[in-house]
Amino acid sequence: MADLRKPRICVIGAGPCGMSFLYHNSKYQQAGETCLEVVCYEKQSDWGGLWNYTWRTGLDQYGEPCHGSMYRDLWSNGPKECLEFPDYTFEDHFGKVIPSYPPRSVLFDYLQGRWSKANVRDPIRFNKLVKHVTYNNDTDDFTVTVKDLGCDKVLPSERFSHIIVAGGHFSVPNVPDFDGIGTFNGRILHSHDFRKAEEFKGQRLLIVGSSYSAEDLAMQCRKSGSGDVICCWRTKPMGFKWPKGIEERPLLTKIDGKTIYFKDGTTADVDVIILCTGYLYHFPYLSESLRLKTSLRLYPAGLYKGTLWMGDGNSKLMYIGMQDQYYTFTMFDIQAEWACAVIRRKVKLPNRQEMELDIKKWLKEESLLKNCYDHIDFQTAFVCDLAKEVGCKYNLDVKALFDRWEDDKYADVVTYRDQAFTSVFTKSPGIKHHTPWMEAFDDSIDTFVNQTPNK
């Protein structure tokens, strides 16, 4: 039986968030602090979360829902300088300056470089699905039940003093219904199941949704030779100056065979419907009193400092990365560092009333935000607040870069990925990629980082 006077921590998921927790825990240990027992359960066979690309859709090899939502052709939709780790820059990793909008494989290589250097693979138990987490009031700890997927066996339950929920929230698709959709005689898929743009060559597409997936899939598919693309919006259009072959219309009202009817009274015939309608927060493995229930937002209610669960669990359960995301890797990292500092009592939690007041303050500010630039300001303040709490020596504020990125995108959605940004940490001036994104089909690491394209 574990000695629960000493923290024993269960991390759920070895994606960027879970890995940031393991990274900071190991940094504390390297600095001579107490070694805490950490076990990370990961249902996939490797680390990386969404970045661990899979061709699979639907169910995985064990009959569990496939976690992956990334597609083969994904390139970063934000400049890498906005997600760069100050203590492990892209230049540290690649040994040279590289362009600002890397393909998926380059970003994953970068992440893995930091994790490998810190040697944080050991605590991960792969192919282990967390099935149940409950809080025990009597003993002030958690019981965790895990299934070994490889052996098809539920393991004896384990007890932990703390839980870090890092299971991601872009994996369970939100799939709305539309009048007559059952009569559609083409293919219907959610962006969660989109893997290759090439597949849609020559096909006329309807994309439902007006956020990142809608924008990127429309562009990816046109780039790969699809027919015309219509994106339809519920709340507001994306409003970009689209290239020929992409247009926006208000939401569809009904479908009849191949014909789509839109709110503005127009119709169009399409071959494929791609639902870019976002994801559900879905944590079936957490007992009801521990479960975060929210829509996608910058400050999910119920989390002190956007991280610590205010429900059951006596301030010993924390969620990482549950926000809507402008900042990604650096935000996850500072949340993880904060979580480590709380567990190690380097950061003292105020009393419950003060924590509630702090949450209220953030929620009030969130409710006043008007546009994407306000959102960026808000998330910058959130990240910097956590950085201050842990005494981070780096300035993580990359607001100016995000603002420029938004300006670039609204100026030209086709060329924004061709721009170059300067790293705030290395100060090395950015370089342009050798090939405009619209013409770049080779997304290998070699071709991207070397300035002579392989033709």
Q: Residue 348, Cβ neighbours under 10 Å: how many?
A: 8
Q: Does 277 bind ligand NAP (CB under 6 A)?
A: yes
- Which pair of tokens denotes residue 337? 């560092």
211 interface partner picked from ligand FAD, ligand NAP, none, CB below 5 to 8 A per type: ligand NAP
Nearest to 117 by CA among 4, 7, 3, 26: 26
Find the binder of ligand FAD among 8, 25, 28, 44 (CB under 6 A): 44
Q: Does 117 bind ligand NAP (CB under 6 A)?
A: no
Task: Tell me how far apart the alpha carbons of residues 444 and 455 are, in angstroms, rounded to a whole number.
Answer: 12
Which single residue is written with the structure tokens 């282990």? 128
Task: Tell me how far apart the alpha carbons of residues 180 and 253 are, in angstroms, rounded to a whole number.
Answer: 9
Nearest to 217 by CA among 238, 235, 375: 238
Find the binder of ligand FAD among 8, 67, 195, 399 (CB under 6 A): 67
State the number of CA atoms in the 13 A half-sphere of 35 facing the CB: 2
Q: Where are the alpha helices (DSSP H) in 7-58?
A: 16-30
Find the binder of ligand NAP among 49, 102, 278, 300 (CB under 6 A): 278
Q: Does 328 bind ligand FAD (CB under 6 A)?
A: yes
Task: Tell me how far apart the alpha carbons of residues 85 and 63 are, in angstroms, rounded to a whole number.
Answer: 36
Q: DSSP letters along 222-260, please?
A: HHTTB--EEEEESS------PPTTEEEEEPEEEEETTEE
Find the binder of ligand NAP among 34, 185, 235, 351 (CB under 6 A): 235
Binding piece for ligand NAP, criterion CB under 6 A, among 28-36, 56-64, 276-284, 375-383: 276-284
Q: Does 315 bind ligand NAP (CB under 6 A)?
A: no
Q: Does 34 bind ligand NAP (CB under 6 A)?
A: no
Task: Tell me how far apart the alpha carbons of residues 260 and 66 are, in angstroms, rounded to a whole number.
Answer: 30
Q: Does 325 bind ligand FAD (CB under 6 A)?
A: yes
Q: Does 70 bind ligand FAD (CB under 6 A)?
A: yes
Three-state DSSP state, 221: helix
Q: For ligand NAP, which is the closer residue by CB, 325 or 379?
A: 325
Q: Does 150 bind ligand NAP (CB under 6 A)?
A: no
- Which pair of tokens denotes residue 405? 């990125």
Q: Does 296 bind ligand NAP (CB under 6 A)?
A: yes
123 interface partner picked from ligand FAD, ligand NAP, none, CB below 5 to 8 A per type: none
Binding piece for ligand NAP, criterion CB under 6 A, among 23-31, 39-47, 209-217, 256-264: 209-217
Burial 386-408 (b: 16+ CB within 10 A, else e): bbebbebeeebbbbebbebbbeb
Q: Does 10 bind ligand FAD (CB under 6 A)?
A: no
Q: Does 373 bind ligand NAP (CB under 6 A)?
A: no
Q: For ligand FAD, which is the closer residue by CB, 260 or 307?
A: 307
Q: Does 69 bind ligand FAD (CB under 6 A)?
A: yes
Using CB under 6 A, list all residues that contact ligand NAP: 74-77, 170, 174, 176, 191, 208-214, 216, 234-235, 251, 276-278, 296, 325
Using CB under 6 A, list all residues that contact ligand FAD: 12-18, 41-44, 49-51, 67, 69-70, 74, 76-78, 83, 129-130, 166-168, 170-171, 285, 321, 325, 328-329
